[in-house]
Copies of this chain bind each other. A is one copy, B any other.
């Protein structure tokens, strides 16, 4: 929708498995035309954006590289990067065309009904080039994601995975733990703190099972840090240690304030 709205692409082709999903997307003006045949869909592409679950991305990037023009940029939108980059780079042709990307945008909803033309505005997009990524291709990826409205950051695939284990995958793990910790009968007394704290537990099961497995090492470390913080509170509660509870809360509040100070206005 952003590509079409900003006139950045003459044609946006949707490639997928389910013709009904593709018809819906076309009906909503999200894509210009649709196909279930990857080779046909990418045959004349300038840019291919692979948006499949993380366990599928590397395979789909390699398939796209076989069928797309050699000049095409191939990028993705996956939440993990290390294994995907390693697997893509086992194919020299795919390695030459691919620049791994993770736009930090979206929600727990999936499907074209939740598409928004302003999804990427002021959002960070992390690019994770490797030693094999051609400089010209990296420039093209920067230009593409910037044109959608993103602010670009670059880091290695492994560093990306370590950081997002804390900033994205951990919040998903805690949201889902929170959702299932509250007995169903008591949900009528759940309000704003539960609503926001468990929001992303509504996200797709297969997608998040795949993300968690892809990044399970860094995620276990992040969970460990969280468990330490929560155990510190529980210990302070056990001792009814007012100063320790106050310090614990004040630390968290200060970190939250740091996060808020980083947000663009109006977001």
Contact present for B192 and A167 (CB under 8 Å): no
Q: Is A158 an interface residue (CB 8 A)?
A: no
User: CB distance B196 to A168 under 8 Å?
Assistant: no
Complex interface: chain B residues within 8 A of A202 (CB): 253, 256-257, 260
Cβ-defined contact, A262 with B197, below 8 A: no
Across the interface, do A252 and B201 meet the contact criterion of CB distance under 8 Å? yes
Within 237-267 of A, Cβ neighbours of B (below 8 Å) are at: 237-238, 240, 242, 245-246, 248-253, 255-260, 262-263
Q: What number of copies of this chain does the assembly contain?
A: 2
- Interface flag for A208 (CB, 8 Å): yes
Which of A8-16, A17-25, A84-92, A217-225 faces chain B? A217-225
Number of A residues contacting the other chain (C-beta, 8 Å)? 87
Indicate which residue in B195, B227, B233, B259 contacts A179 across the interface (CB closer than 8 Å): B259
Tell me, rounded to whole Å, the shortest Cβ–Cβ distance linking A181 to chain B. Answer: 4
* A233 touching B223, Cβ below 8 Å: yes
